[in-house]
Amino acid sequence: MKIIITGGGGFLGSQLSQSLLERGTWCGQAITEMVLLDAFFRGEPSDPRVKQVICDIGDRAAVFAATGCRFDVIFHLASMVSGECEERFDDAMRVNLDGGRNVFEAARAVEGKPRVVFASSVACYGGLEMSQMMSDTTKQLPQTTYGMTKAMCEMMVNDHSRKGHFDGRSVRLPTVIIRPGKPNAAASSWASGMFREPLNGETCMLPIRRDQPHPMTGYRTVIESFIALSEVPEEKLGKDRAYVLPAHRVTPQIAEQVIQEVAAERGLQLGPIVDAFDARIQGIVDNWPQQVDGGRAIALGLPQPPPLNQIVRQYLEDFGPR
Q: Which residues are known to be catalytic?
A: 146
Burial of residue 209 (CB within 10 Å: 0-12, 13-18, 19+) is middle
Q: Are 205 and 151 in contact (CB under 8 A)?
A: no
Helices 60-67 and 99-109 meet at what angle, rounded to 10? 40
Question: What does the alpha-carbon distance between residue 122 and residue 236 come to, in Å, rounded to a whole number?
Answer: 23
Q: Are 136 and 240 in contact (CB under 8 A)?
A: yes
Q: Cα 123 from chain centroid?
A: 11
Phi then psi for 67, rounded to 5 degrees? -85, -30
Burial of residue 35 (CB within 10 Å: 0-12, 13-18, 19+) is buried
Phi then psi for 2, rounded to 5 degrees? -115, 125
298 to 92, 106, 163, 290, 294: CA distances (angstroms): 31, 30, 27, 19, 6
Q: Are 273 and 206 in contact (CB under 8 A)?
A: yes
Q: Are 101 and 156 in contact (CB under 8 A)?
A: yes
Q: Cα 56 from chain centroid?
A: 19
